[in-house]
Amino acid sequence: MTFPYTKEVLEHFRNPQNVGKMEDPDGKGLEGSPACGDMVAVYLKVDPDTLVIEDISFESYGCASNIATASMITEMAKGKTLEEAKTITWKEAANALGGLPPVKAHCSVLAVEGLRSAIRDYEEKHGMVVENEATTVEVVSKRLKHVMNPMAGLDIIRTELVLKVVVEEGTVRIVLDIPSTHQFAAAIKEDIVDKLESLWDVESVTVDYIS
């Protein structure tokens, strides 16, 4: 019997650790979207004095590598401080799992992003973020690196799906290198709006297509 994953991945897939929705989490992150494919939610309980992650859990609407990575990364983050947990990379999680198929990278990267976005959520809620930096093309592009191109399994910046970014007085306009009739057009748009509309000085986000 030959399964498509390592035995560590299969073990975490079969018996995922730290699963379930958490009541009253101190921090919460949600990455991905059902329209676009996989989705993962990460919940944190943090000791306010030491900033140590005391409890962590996740939910996944995803494939095996998504579930296994979320299980592994929540194990790795538990007991660490927020600063330490922030530095856990996808590569470290993938290595701990004995490797992941490259084509499945984006499904598992989501789990890492879920953890980071839960930490950011905690920091924002607890006044630990000095934001008010004005939104620029660079800020927008950085956020767009978290929007996946489902055709490639990589983000839309790296796969050059973004033709143009315009930031003007509280409005952001993105032009994508796909036609509006493309099967992923609506899903990618939804994901972009989701990532950008939370920026403090952005009032509206529009997404256009080449045709």
Partner 1 sequence: MFNETIYLDNAASTRLDEAVLEAMKPYFFDAYAVATSEFGYSMGIDAKEGLERSRKVIASRLGAQAGEIVFTSGSTESSNMAIKGVLSALKGKKDDHLIVSRLEDFPVLNTAKKLDKQGYKVDFINVDGEGILDLDMFSDAITSQTALVSIQQANQEIGTLQDLKGISDICQDKDVLLHTDATHSFTRIPLDVSKLPVDLVTVSAHTIHGPRGIGALYIREGTPIDKWMDGGFQESDRRAGVENIPAAVGFAKAVELVTSEENERLAAMRGRVIERAMADIPHVTLNGSATSRLPQNANMTFHYVEGESITLHLDMLGFAVSTGSACFSRSLEASHVILGIGGDHERAHGSLRFSFGRFNTIEDSDAIIDALKDVVTNLRAISPLAEDN
3 binds partner 1 (CB under 8 A): yes
Q: Does the active-site annotation cover 107?
A: yes
Active-site residue, 63 included: no
Is 16 near partner 1 (CB under 8 A)?
yes
Q: What does each C-alpha distance from 53 to 56, 155, 166, 199, 202 come to in angstroms?
A: 7, 29, 38, 26, 31
**Given 9, 36, 115, 162, which residue is catalytic?**
36
**Nearest approach, Cβ of residue 60 and partner 1 (Å):** 6
CA-wise closest residue to 27 among 38, 43, 11: 43
- E strands, the chain, where? 27-32, 39-46, 53-61, 148-149, 154-155, 162-168, 171-176, 204-209
Contact 171, 146 (CB under 8 A): no
Per-residue tokens: 32: 């991905």
Q: How far is the CB of 59 from partner 1 (least distance, A)?
A: 4
Count each helix (H run) and each strand (E run) in the chain, helices first. 7, 8
Interface characters, 98-137, with partner 1 (x: CB under 8 A): -----xx--x------------------------------
Stretch that binds partner 1, among 16-24, 86-94, 122-130, 156-164 (CB under 8 A): 16-24
What's the one-letter identity of residue 129?
V
Looking at the Cβ atoms of 82 and 108, the one nearer to partner 1 is 108
Site for partner 1 in 152-211 (CB under 8 A): 152-153, 183, 187
Contacts of 55 (CB under 8 A, 6+ apart): 22, 44, 45, 78
Question: Residue 63, interface with partner 1 (CB under 8 A)?
Answer: yes
CB of 172 to partner 1, least distance (A): 25
Instruction: Note whether 64 binds partner 1 by CB under 8 A.
Output: yes
- Select the span of 33-41, 48-56, 121-129, 168-176 touching partner 1 (CB under 8 A): 33-41
Amino acid at 94: A
Alpha helices in 64-184 (DSSP H): 64-77, 82-86, 90-96, 105-125, 137-144
Q: What one-character DSSP code corresponds to residue 104? A: G
The residues that touch partner 1, with contacts defined as CB under 8 A, are 1, 3-5, 10, 13-14, 16, 19-21, 30, 34-41, 58-64, 66-67, 103-104, 107, 150-153, 183, 187
Active site residues: 36, 107
